[in-house]
Amino acid sequence: KQEVTQIPAALSVPEGENLVLNCSFTDSAIYNLQWFRQDPGKGLTSLLLIQSSQREQTSGRLNASLDKSSGRSTLYIAASQPGDSATYLCAVVAVNTGKLIFGQGTTLQVKP
């Protein structure tokens, strides 16, 4: 059974720091991995989608990498800003079920 884990559950950093959020999954048989952002009381916003054949995707200050063999993905945020404060979730589509499996998320606070 595919499981997705995000550690740490919460992270607090000063503004300007480069930071890495981690996502691990137990079964390397995935179609893709997607990173989302969620602000309090709101829905999820798609940040980056990495297909299984890809190693990374970039959007602005965000870079997501995927290492299927080790079951890991990282979301790199460069020069963090207070506006980056949110919960970040990763999710994989498992090959055996075709279903999207979410991690529990990492809540990020960037202090001015």
Partner 1 sequence: DVKVTQSSRYLVKRTGEKVFLECVQDMDHENMFWYRQDPGLGLRLIYFSYDVKMKEKGDIPEGYSVSREKKERFSLILESASTNQTSMYLCASNPFLLGAGGNTGELFFGEGSRLTVL
Which residues make up the interface to partner 1 (CB under 8 A)? 31-32, 34, 36, 41-46, 49, 51, 89, 91, 93, 95, 98-100, 102-105
Least distance (Å) from partner 1 to the CB of residue 49? 5
**Of 47, 49, 41, the residue nearest 66 (C-alpha):** 49
Q: State which residue, 11 or 100, has the beta carbon closest to partner 1.
A: 100
Burial class (CB in 10 A: 0-12, 13-18, 19+), 58: exposed
- Smaller CB separation from partner 1, 13 or 62: 62
